[in-house]
């Protein structure tokens, strides 16, 4: 073989080796790539050479911690650590310190110091083994970010006691609003076959501080409460427990009838109460640390206490009494609305739950969606935040992108999560303050999971960032979306500063771009009926008025938008006076919520001088331009990241650009039928006419989970 051929082979090998990062995405943010900084490589080789762990060889969490350190060391610094029995011998020390007063039961304290032998030591302290595991993942995150060990000084405790993923997974492995394959939970082969993916799932959640998972759909199936399925749930709980993760189940309110053979599910009926108590006893005999029940009741056809003229509080309290002896909780969803109720859908949850404040048992939390409609691209915060001062509440975000282009569109949700959390409920208090406030020792946040059995877990490679961002914000809601994006990119794509900056810019602009090409200026719920993919502002065929897009934008010859101020539905009255003053006047309302609260003239003068019609055209076109810019930026890093990941994202960005143009053209052509105004001359013309867009049909679009 000639020297030239050898050199070529070496270069090819180096290229393949250098572009391996984030290959198929299965490792998520735990790829533990080799440290490229030579100085740091040597420092961490020294530090990770000798490690002390608590001496409890029988503890599963400590065994997991040890395994994680071994894996990370081999990959990042190409050596295996030696574990010792004496603290004095170690460079990295993990120890339990019950007296550590800077942290709570799940927190950790990590400090770097110089010992008596002039050696650098890193000490990780926690009050529990789970706290040590969280501290281990934080240390490994900092190493992946290539932080100099001398700079590692961090003390952290989760701000929220409950940090939960909600899986809308069905018994047949379909996933309602799932876009990443079928469910990872294979109920057919459980409990005997324990897929390695269950362990990898638990590990991923623990690495970002998630401590609970609801493994069944909120549109619940009573079969999950039968013994045959409870033993399957037990198998999962046993796998998740050493990672600090509790299992929760959705409870179908009519289960006493469906599987208990009772004649009623009335929450005040003694037989029904006893049935739930016995069911709770059965569950806890199998799963001693079972978290409790999540309940969707009297919403979208689900049974509930109102079937028996009982209140949500009476229904929740009956279940809460059943799990209370076992220290379980009930999470009761506030997502309720009725087509038979003539009241604005945006008002109904507040109207039902505000009078019940203080009437729930101490182990009940009310879970409130981030906005008053349904996980729209942009909504104002839900008025129930701040309206239930005597009731523990949980924030509910939707990580899966039901209304956000699904797993086809690159949309980083960190800015959306932060926009809601940082919203003021009054002059002195933000949503984040309400969510963090513990009542009866409870506080929490939940996220509807975007996880499926695709090799990369989430469908779109960048959708992983939303799972990651949710976990990081669940632990610390004060983190910035930009910081979280920066962390995730470094752990998954690149350490190169220029490439990192480009990818971070793509991520940070993606949310606003999506809002602009889908639902600018406060428009909402104008997606395709049922599957919610693509535009359908003309939709008016479903039997329920509040499932039709025309219900929400209310376009006519006079203007567009839903009047929710005093002259309309007056939904704005559910907010504090300070907020009402901000949004009640169409001339001063934040324009990102303008059409949410106001029906305004097509000639309404915007703050920049544009008419409403021209501004609507501008926003839709800005959204398309934004995606084109994202596409161009992605192409600019083609040779600097792994080819497999690059190509997958590139293809999806091409689809996203086409979809953005589709959204713009279909919506503007439709709204023009009301405005009767011309398009600004400098904007591109639609590729097709309105009847073409109205003829499109997608009966097999994913995510309905039927």
Block residue for tokens 């003068």: 605
Active-site option among 138, 402, 454, 546: 402
Active site residue 615: no
E strands of 115-233, at which residues? 120-126, 153-156, 162-166, 212-214
Reduced to 3 states (helix: H, G, I; strand: E, B; else coil), residue 661 is: helix
Residue 21 has pLDDT above 70, yes or no: no
Q: What is the pLDDT of residue 429?
A: 97
Residue 11 has pLDDT above 80, yes or no: no
Element (H, E) at 368: strand 364-369
Q: What is the pLDDT of residue 14?
A: 41
Of 17-21, 70-74, 216-220, 586-590, the range with the lowest mean pLDDT is 17-21
Burial of 292 (0-12, 13-18, 19+ CB in 10 A): buried
Domain 25-156 has CATH 3.90.1170.50: no
Domain 162-492 class, CATH top level:
alpha beta
Share of the chain above pLDDT 70, in %: 96
Cα–Cα nearest to 171, from 95, 92, 241, 229: 229
Q: What is the pLDDT of residue 197?
A: 98
Per-residue model confidence as pLDDT tens digits over 51-76 = 999 987 679 999 999 999 999 999 99
Please give the residue that has the higher pLDDT: either 622 or 118.
Answer: 622
Per-residue model confidence as pLDDT tens digits over 602-658 = 999 999 999 999 999 999 999 999 999 999 999 999 999 999 999 999 999 999 999
CA distance 662 to 69: 49
Q: How confident is the model at residue 33 (pLDDT cuts 50, 70, 90)?
A: very high
Residue 18 has pLDDT above 70, yes or no: no
Residue 699 has pLDDT above 90, yes or no: no
Block residue for tokens 């004095």: 88
Contacts of 575 (CB under 8 A, 6+ apart): 383, 425, 583
Q: What is the pLDDT of residue 704?
A: 74
- Structure tokens of 471? 């976990």
Active site residue 374: yes
Q: What is the pLDDT of residue 692?
A: 98
Block residue for tokens 């398309």: 624
Mean pLDDT of the chain: 95
E strands of 49-90, at which residues? 50-52, 82-84
**Span between the terminal Cα atoms of the chain, in Å:** 60
Contacts of 216 (CB under 8 A, 6+ apart): 167, 169, 170, 171, 224, 249, 250
Residue 303 has pLDDT above 90, yes or no: yes
The model's pTM: 0.96
Residue 348 has pLDDT above 60, yes or no: yes
Residue 4 has pLDDT above 60, yes or no: no
Give just the sign of the alpha carbon dihedral 65, 456, 468, 498: positive
157 C-beta neighbours (distance < 10 Å), count: 18
The number of CA neighbours under 13 Å toward the Cβ of 298 is 24
Determine the CATH number of domain 516-562+599-695: 3.90.1330.10
219 C-beta neighbours (distance < 10 Å), count: 16
Q: What is the pLDDT of residue 705?
A: 61
Q: What is the pLDDT of residue 7?
A: 42
CA distance 650 to 560: 36
Cα–Cα nearest to 121, from 134, 111, 129, 108: 111
DSSP string for 325-355 = GGT-EEEEE-----TT--S-HHHHHHHHHGG
CA distance 395 to 470: 11
Residue 12 has pLDDT above 50, yes or no: no
Active site residue 300: yes
Q: So where are the chain's domains? A: 25-156, 162-492, 516-562+599-695
Tell me how far CA of residue 205 lies from CA of 198, 242, 463, 492, 660, in angstroms. Answer: 11, 12, 15, 16, 33
Give just the sign of the alpha carbon dihedral 293, 297, 300, 301: positive
Please give the residue that has the higher pLDDT: either 217 or 57.
Answer: 217
Element (H, E) at 364: strand 364-369
CA distance 168 to 427: 37
Active-site option among 314, 374, 487, 546: 374
Q: What is the pLDDT of residue 2?
A: 52
Active-site option among 95, 300, 436, 505: 300
- Structure tokens of 429? 């208090």
Cα–Cα nearest to 163, from 65, 60, 94, 243: 243
Q: Are 546 and 337 in contact (CB under 8 A)?
A: yes
CA distance 162 to 468: 16
Cα–Cα nearest to 463, from 401, 383, 402, 389: 401
């Amino acid at each position: 073989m000639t020297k030239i051929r050898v050199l070529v082979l070496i270069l090819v090998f180096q290229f393949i080796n250098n572009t391996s990062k984030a290959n198929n995405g299965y490792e998520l943010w735990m790829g533990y790539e080799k440290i490229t900084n030579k100085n740091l490589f040597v420092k961490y080789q020294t530090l990770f050479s000798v490690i002390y762990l608590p001496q409890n060889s029988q503890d599963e969490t400590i065994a997991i911690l040890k395994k994680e350190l071994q894996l990370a060391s081999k990959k990042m610094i190409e050596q295996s650590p030696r574990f010792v029995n004496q603290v004095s011998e170690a460079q990295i020390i993990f120890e339990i310190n019950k007296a550590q007063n800077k942290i709570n039961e799940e927190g950790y304290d990590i400090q770097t110091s110089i010992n008596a032998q002039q050696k650098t030591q890193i000490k990780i302290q926690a009050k529990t083994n789970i706290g040590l595991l969280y501290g281990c993942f934080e240390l490994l995150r900092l190493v992946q970010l290539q932080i100099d060990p001398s700079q590692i000084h961090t003390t952290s405790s989760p701000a929220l006691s409950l940090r939960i993923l909600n899986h809308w997974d069905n018994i047949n492995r379909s996933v309602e609003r799932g876009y990443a394959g079928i469910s990872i939970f294979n109920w057919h082969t459980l409990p005997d076959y324990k897929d390695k993916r269950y362990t990898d799932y638990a590990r991923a959640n623990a690495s970002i501080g998630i401590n609970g998972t609801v493994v069944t759909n909120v549109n619940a199936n009573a079969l999950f409460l039968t013994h045959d399925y409870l033993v399957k749930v037990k198998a999962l709980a046993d796998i998740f427990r050493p990672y600090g993760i509790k299992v929760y189940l959705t409870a179908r309110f009519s289960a006493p009838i469906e599987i208990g053979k009772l004649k009623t599910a009335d929450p005040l009926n003694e037989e029904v109460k006893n049935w739930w108590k016995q069911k709770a006893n059965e569950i806890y005999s199998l799963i001693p640390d079972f978290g409790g029940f999540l309940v969707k009741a009297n919403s979208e056809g689900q049974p509930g206490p109102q079937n028996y003229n009982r209140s949500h509080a009476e229904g929740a309290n009956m279940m809460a009494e059943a799990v209370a002896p076992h220290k379980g909780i009930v999470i009761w969803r506030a997502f309720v609305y009725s087509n038979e109720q003539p009241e604005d859908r945006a008002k109904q949850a507040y109207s039902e739950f505000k009078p019940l404040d203080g009437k729930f048992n101490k182990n009940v939390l009310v879970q409130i969606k981030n906005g008053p409609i349904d996980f729209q691209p942009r909504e104002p915060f839900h008025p129930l935040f701040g309206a239930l001062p005597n009731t523990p509440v949980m924030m509910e975000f939707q990580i899966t992108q039901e209304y956000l282009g699904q797993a086809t569109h690159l949309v980083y949700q960190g800015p959306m999560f932060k926009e809601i959390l940082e919203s003021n409920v009054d002059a002195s208090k933000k949503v984040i303050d309400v969510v963090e406030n513990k009542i009866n020792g409870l506080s929490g946040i939940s996220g509807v999971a975007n996880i499926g059995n695709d090799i990369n877990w989430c469908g779109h490679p960048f959708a992983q960032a939303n799972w990651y961002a949710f976990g990081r914000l669940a632990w610390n809601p004060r983190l910035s979306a930009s910081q979280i994006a920066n962390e995730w990119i470094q752990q998954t794509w690149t350490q190169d500063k220029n490439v990192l900056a480009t990818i971070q810019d793509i991520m940070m602009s993606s949310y606003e771009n999506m809002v602009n090409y889908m639902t600018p200026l406060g428009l909402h719920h104008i997606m395709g009926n049922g599957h919610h993919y693509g535009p359908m502002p003309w939709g008016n065929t479903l039997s329920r008025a509040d499932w039709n897009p025309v219900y929400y934008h209310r376009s006519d010859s006079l203007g567009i938008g839903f009047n929710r101020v005093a002259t309309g539905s007056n939904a704005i009255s559910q907010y504090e006076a300070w907020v009402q003053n901000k949004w009640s006047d169409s001339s001063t309302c934040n324009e990102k919520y303008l059409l949410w609260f106001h029906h305004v003239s097509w000639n309404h003068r915007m703050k920049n001088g544009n008419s409403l019609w021209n501004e609507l055209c501008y926003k839709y076109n800005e959204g398309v331009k934004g995606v084109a810019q994202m596409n161009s930026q992605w192409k600019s890093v083609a040779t600097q990241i792994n080819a497999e990941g690059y190509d997958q994202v590139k293809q999806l960005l091409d689809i996203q650009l086409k979809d953005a143009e589709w959204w713009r053209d279909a919506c503007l052509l439709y709204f023009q039928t009301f405005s009767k105004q011309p398009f600004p001359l400098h904007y591109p013309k639609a590729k097709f006419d309105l009847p073409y867009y109205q003829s499109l049909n997608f009966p097999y679009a994913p995510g309905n989970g039927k």
